[in-house]
Amino acid sequence: MSNTSFISARRLLLWSGIVALCAWVLVPIYLVALGALGGRSGVYQWPKSILPTGVSLQPFFLFLKTEGVVQSFLNSLGAAGITVALSILLGAPAGYALARYNFRGKDSFRILVLLTRAFPLAILALPLTVSFIRLGLYDTVIGVGLIHTVLALPFAALVTQGIFLGVPRELEEAAWVFGCTRIQAFFKIVAPLALPGLVATAVFAFVISWNEVFAASVLTVRNRTLTAYLLTVLSESPMHYRFAGGLLLILPSVVFIFAVRRYLFAIWGISSK
């Protein structure tokens, strides 16, 4: 075999591997979409067709009209909104402190933040049931948002630390020299430069909350989030409703991930240091 054909054989192998792995990710999503849009008759069709025959948006809209779906969708948005707001509002200042200051107890604080990684945090919802009932937070969107913030906050603090480290300290100090207060310097100089990274962090906080199943199911009864709702009605819902539920769960977070795709690796590079 000549050298060039050896190289092209290797390229072929490489690209078939890449294409196969892309198909491994995409084909199952395509199939669940077929299931969600195929309705009842689609589920029992045998043998199945891979082509989108008999597909319409009608079954999906019917699913959306089922009692509880829209409400739980809105609850999920609410809980995710609270998670985003709290984890950025609390986490970004902590990240800024880690990036810009040396202070006693810094290492202990980092350990506290990193310690959360060794624990399956959602499980902490179990004992919180009792205190949440007492505080009136049980079965509320706010309660779910609070526990989801525990999941997202350590992540936000570590990632924002990396983001603020990426903003040159000299720029901030120059602003002080020109008479800005520290707060003015932060909002006029640092914040605009850090904004894209902060938005990406917020998107991740959203996805963390949106996808969380366990804590949301434990802490709610009537005001269920979408994941908690789907989990509880799972065993009594027909197949095509389950597929529609799966598709409804997938769509928003995939769109969000697409929006921040440029920051994925920077963020995870930072947060896994």
**CB of 211 closer than 8 Å to CB of 249:** yes
Estimate the crossing angle of helix 3-44 against helix 58-65, to 10 degrees.
60
215-244 positions binding another protein, by CB under 8 A: 217-218, 227, 230-231, 234-235, 239, 242-243
- Can residue 174 be called a binding residue for another protein (CB under 8 A)? no
- Can residue 34 be called a binding residue for another protein (CB under 8 A)? yes
- Can residue 29 be called a binding residue for another protein (CB under 8 A)? yes
- Can residue 199 be called a binding residue for another protein (CB under 8 A)? no
190 C-beta neighbours (distance < 10 Å), count:
22
What are φ and ψ of residue 36, in 5° steps? -70, -30
Task: Kindly state the DSSP code that residue 102 receives in the 8-state scheme.
Answer: -
Q: Which of 9, 64, 70, 89 binds another protein (CB under 8 A)?
A: 89
CB of 5 to another protein, least distance (A): 18
**CB of 226 closer than 8 Å to CB of 248:** yes
Q: Which of 37, 207, 223, 224 binds another protein (CB under 8 A)?
A: 207
CB of 192 to another protein, least distance (A): 19
Q: Which of 144, 202, 212, 224 binds another protein (CB under 8 A)?
A: 212
97-136 positions binding another protein, by CB under 8 A: 97-98, 100-103, 105-106, 109, 112-113, 116-131
Number of residues that bind another protein (CB under 8 A): 97
Reduced to 3 states (helix: H, G, I; strand: E, B; else coil), residue 49 is coil
CB of 2 to another protein, least distance (A): 20
39-68 positions binding another protein, by CB under 8 A: 43-48, 50
- Can residue 172 be called a binding residue for another protein (CB under 8 A)? no
